[in-house]
Every structure is written in structure tokens, then in C-alpha cells.
Amino acid sequence: MGGTLQEFALGEPRPANVGEIEAGLSAMWRSAAEASGAESAVTRASALTLLVYVDREEAAREVNNLIAEVTRQNPCRAVVMVMDPQGAPPGLMASVSAHCHMPVEGERQICSEQITLNARGATGPELISVVLPLTVSGLPIYLWWRAESFAMPAYFEQILRVTQHVIVDSARFAATGADLRALAAWLEKYSGRIRLSDLNWARTTPWREVMAQCFDSPDRRPYLHRIRELRIEYEMESARLNTQRAQSLLLAAWLATRLGWEFQRAEPRGENMPRGFYFQSGGGEVRVERVLRKMEGGGSGVCFSFVIEADGARFSFSRGPDGKVVQTRAEAPGLPPIGRTVRIEAGDEVEILNDELMLSGRDHVYEEALALVARMTRY
């Protein structure tokens, strides 16, 4: 890992103008080089353009810190778009800064640049006209949608025409079902052209892996097609509720799509109670029960526990109180029980984002699960 972080900024935010932004960046690099002294040159590095959309000014400050960490692993030009349609006075302001990872003695200093654009009032189309020329020629463009809802304005079409990869985090969605449905509808339009990643889905990767491994044994694999009940428990603690609510839906849909279950119906909405779902599998009806529980500890916020009941067999996956360990147990008639303890800790937002920035290719499994979630939550 690199050394400590140093930030460079040039002056106060000014009315956004592409020529002035580029001139500001050049001036900033000169001052960064001077500050570093003759001993260690500054290397300006960029492997991609990262466009970041946030819907609040406070969120922009959070993102600033995250980008500083992201650039350690993925040097890039970051363009942060802070949208505040209600903000006043209306206008578009820009500021430039750099994140430099101070080297240990004898190594080079690597810096990435950030342009922050604050769009107040109805200045969306103007914002896009500034963002487009600021993307780095020839490098891939990633759009990180870091907002509490997924409602992409029509003027983003210009950006989507040049973007290869859109990253969302369904853990941030305030209206989980509605936002996942909006995301599914958006994906239907852009599928094949743009890769979609959901950081919240990435957080479930260790769980999916552990569950899959449980059925690698040929003796236990047939039980996959005899599942009658899936019970998912998640936390009622409010800070993690959105994260886990979305995860519980996506994981239920993941099992259903992988195992070829047909969605039948959802239980009626109960007040503050998660709904259960019914599916039809080759072997009969499958009930998916979602249960809210108060849980000890919290760790990184990745979910719950799962219990799969299948024709007398029981497969359970329980997160330890520190959130870093999962204990699994497989019990099936005529077979000795197998248990194990493995690491389940999901990375933090920066680690997961860094992983996503290095992946390519569509995630069909996620896309299918998302489409099913849209159906499950429609009513």
C-alpha cells in the first residue's frame, strides 16, 4: 500500500468553465511538483475517468474521502457531480484538487486529480456539457451513482452514450423495492451496452460462495432441488436495514433464478414486516420467509442468517456476532453433519468499489436476480 495521503486544492470554487478547469489543473500540478521538491517527482496517473453522482453536498464531502482512497489502487481522473435542484442561487461551480499518495523514501509520488462540480437549481444539462469534455481520452468511463434513489434524469443520456460501466449501491436506496424496480427497468434499456454493478450485491458474494460450496458435495447437491423453505433473517437495526433488505431480496431472487423457481405470489404487505414469497420449483412449492431480528454486533453490515429446509435436510449459515465469521452446518438424512467456520467479512465501500473498477463483462446472474426482484416487489 502507498504511504500517507496529501491533498492539493487550487483556490475557491469558481463558475464552471472547461478551459479554466484545465488551466486550474495544470497550475495545480505545477504547485504539487514544486511542493514535492526535487528528490521525488510527481507522477500524474490515470487509468480511467470516474464520474460520481451525489445528491447532497454533505455526501460530496464523504465522496471526497472515498475517492482519495480509491485512487491508491485505481489512479483516475474523478469528476464529482453534486446535484442540488433545490439549491440557491442557481449556477454551476467548479473546483479542482489532487489526491497524492506520499511515497516512502526513494519512491515516486503518485497523484490523481479530482474536479468537483456543484450544480444548484435546474442546471443539469449545463453540468453534462462540462462533464463530457473533461473525460480522459481513450480511457474507460465509469459512472458511480451514489444517491438515495435511482432516478436518472433524461439529460444523463449524453453521459450514458460514452459510459462503459455504471455502479450503484442498492444499500443506499431509501425505497428499496421501488428503486430496485427502477434500476431493473433502466437495465432493460441499457443491458448489453453498459455493465451494471451493485456494490450491495458484491457484498453478498462471500455468502453466495459459502452457500454454493455447501452443495459442491455430490451427496448433498440433489437437495438443491428439494428445497421447501428458505428462511432469511436480517437486522432491524435501522442503519443497516436498507442494506440488508435489498440483500434479502436479491439473495432470494438469486436462489430462485439459479434453481429455476417460478415466482407465484407475495404475501400481503404487513406493517413494518418483511413480506414472504412463494415460488414453484420442480419439486413443489417453496416458501421464502424473511424475518427481522435484533442481532448482536454488526461488523461490516453484511447480513443475516440463512436456513434452507429441503426434504428432511437442513443447511444453515449464521453470521458470528463480529460480522467477520460465518458458521455453516449441513445436515442431511444418512449423511454425517458437516460444519465449518470461514471468513465472511465483506470489504468496505472503497475495497468493493476498487474490485468493481477492475472487473469487466456483464454479470448475468445479478441481472436475472434484479429482474426477478422487480417482479417480486411489484405489488
Partner 1 sequence: MPETAEMVNPLREGIRLRRTPDPCSMVIFGASGDLTERKLIPALFYLSRERMLPPGFSVVGCARTPKTDEQFSQAMSAGVKKFLHLTAESDAFVQGFAKGLHYVADDFSTPEAYQKLKDTLDHLDQEHGTAGNRLFYLATPPSFFPVIVGLLGAAGLAKPKDPGKTWTRIILEKPFGRSLESARELNQTVTSVFEEDQVYRIDHYLGKETVQNLLVFRFANGIFEPFWNRRYIDHVQISVAEELGVENRGAYYEEAGLLRDMIQNHVLQLLSLVAMEPPATFEATAVRDEKAKVMRALRPIHLERVAEFVVRGQYVEGFVGGKKVPAYRTEPKVSPASNTETYAAFKFFIDNWRWADVPFYLRSGKRLPKRVSEISIQFRRVPHLLFRGAGAEGIEPNILSIRIQPNEGISLKFCAKLPGTTMQIRPVEMEFLYGESFGAAPPTAYETLLLDCMLGDATLFNRADAVDLSWELVDPILERWKQDGPQGLAPYAAGSWGPQEADDFIERDGRQWRRL
The residue ranges that bind partner 1 (CB under 8 A) are: 1-2, 72-73, 205-206, 208-222, 224-226, 255, 258-260, 282, 320, 324-325, 327-328, 330, 335-336, 338, 340-343, 354, 359, 363-366
**CB 311, min distance to partner 1, A:** 10
Distance (Å) of CA 184 to CA 145, 167, 179: 15, 13, 8
**CB 216, min distance to partner 1, A:** 5
Residue nearer to partner 1 on the CB measure, 75 or 301: 75
**CB 330, min distance to partner 1, A:** 7
Tell me the C-alpha distance between 267 and 253, whole Å: 15
Contact 276, 266 (CB under 8 A): yes
Residue nearer to partner 1 on the CB measure, 59 or 214: 214
The dihedral over CA atoms of 124, 169, 248, 182, expressed in degrees to the nearest 10, equals: 20
Cα 176 vs. chain centroid, distance in angstroms? Answer: 14
Closest CA to 166 of 126, 138, 195, 128: 195
**CB 211, min distance to partner 1, A:** 6
Tell me the C-alpha distance between 6 and 68, whole Å: 9
**CB 4, min distance to partner 1, A:** 14
Residue nearer to partner 1 on the CB measure, 56 or 226: 226
List Cβ neighbours of 165 (8 Å cut-off, separation of 6 or more).
140, 141, 142, 143, 194, 195, 196, 197, 356
Residue nearer to partner 1 on the CB measure, 19 or 337: 337
Cell digits of residue 56:
447532497
**CB 82, min distance to partner 1, A:** 27
3-state DSSP call for residue 166? Answer: strand
Residue nearer to partner 1 on the CB measure, 125 or 222: 222
**CB 373, min distance to partner 1, A:** 16
Q: 91-101 and 5-15: which strand pairing?
A: antiparallel
Tell me the C-alpha distance between 181 and 158, whole Å: 23
Contact 355, 346 (CB under 8 A): no
Give burial (CB, 10 Å; 0-12/13-18/19+) of 88: exposed
Residue nearer to partner 1 on the CB measure, 120 or 319: 319
Contact 359, 366 (CB under 8 A): no
**CB 226, min distance to partner 1, A:** 8
Residue nearer to partner 1 on the CB measure, 46 or 354: 354
**CB 94, min distance to partner 1, A:** 30
Angle value at C-alpha 216, between 215 and 219, nearest 5 degrees = 75
Residue nearer to partner 1 on the CB measure, 184 or 224: 224
Residue nearer to partner 1 on the CB measure, 108 or 161: 108
